[in-house]
Structure 1
Amino acid sequence: MTDADGGTYTLLLELPRDVDIEVGALGTHHFPAGAYAYTGSALGSGGFARVDRHRRLAAGESDTRHWHVDYLTGHPATDLATVVTSGGADVECAVAERLPDGPVDGFGASDCDCRAHLAMAPSLSTLTATVESAHRDAMKG
């Protein structure tokens, strides 16, 4: 399995302070300081190259915003800490449903019935462990 094959990914982000961010059509929302996990799929052309795009945006190397998560990753206060992947699997919703709620209903979930694909927790270490477990459990079915 190569990165070009794609699968499901979760971006783990840290926000050191409270910020208000305009999230495209969702409007302006308050994001409390803490750890965030955004789960998406990279099953189309280029596979996990989509994750590299998120990294470039988070590093300030790009300012193009297409998806809800782009507004969060593109904010200067946001740090992209790490990424968890499940190669070759379409388990985006299964992972997102196993994670805690986030601050914005509908975030990243405009094409499914999930409440949101953005989770939040006070600690990055705790959220990372939860995300890793959610990916393992979703892969088991």
Structure 2
Amino acid sequence: MTDRGTYTLLVRLDGPATVEFGAAGERALDAGWYAYTGSAFGPGGLSRVARHRELARGERDARHWHVDYLLGHPGAAVEDVVTTREADVECAVARALVEALAPVGGLGASDCDCPTHLAFAPERAPLERAVRAAHG
């Protein structure tokens, strides 16, 4: 059985950057911490997280999701991942993070009515607390 669920990547961005997010357009991003929430219920399940890590390390090039554009930036690194296994809580987590942190509008939410699935905090501790609380 495939390990499936909802995940949130904790991504460190070393310096300010302008990132082109494909059709979603360009965003000026501050240095700090980003939380990207996604779901992995299709083929491969949570192995999608390993693919995101590979892209962040420069081992992959293909961009399939908005977060891949951030992860493809040389100053970005996946520092941690929080998961909720076997539960589709993607939008609930994303909405909780938008309320607790600074939203980066219109990213990762093209297939739902959430304002975004990417949120920002200047420091890791508040971002990580919000992510862990949202995953409950």
TM-score (norm 1): 0.91
Counting aligned pairs with the same residue, the percent is 56
For structure 1, the residue ranges without an aligned partner over 5 or more in a row are 137-141
Cα shift at 1:93:
0.2
**Residue 19 of structure 2 corresponds to residue 46 of structure 1:** no
Match of 1:67 among 62, 65, 68: 65
Q: What is the alpha-carbon root mean square deviation over aligned residues?
A: 1.0
2:89 is aligned, of 81, 84, 91, to 91
Task: Determine if contact 1:16/1:33 at 8 Å carries over to the other structure.
Answer: yes
- On the 8 A contact 1:15/1:77 being kept in 2, the answer is yes
Counterpart residue number, 2:111? 111
Mapped partners of 1:5, 1:16: distance in 2? 31
> How many residues are paired up?
133
Q: Give the TM-score of the pair, scaled to structure 2.
A: 0.94
Contact 1:101 1:116 in 2 (8 A): no
Paired position in structure 1 for 2:103: 102
**2:134 maps to 1:134:** yes
Tell me, what secondary structure is at the counterpart of 2:94?
A: helix
1-structure distance, mates of 2:29, 2:67: 12
Between the aligned partners of 2:6 and 2:83, the Cα distance in structure 1 is: 6
Runs (4+) of structure 1 exceeding 6 A deviation are none
Uncovered stretches (5+) of structure 2, i.e. residues with no partner: none
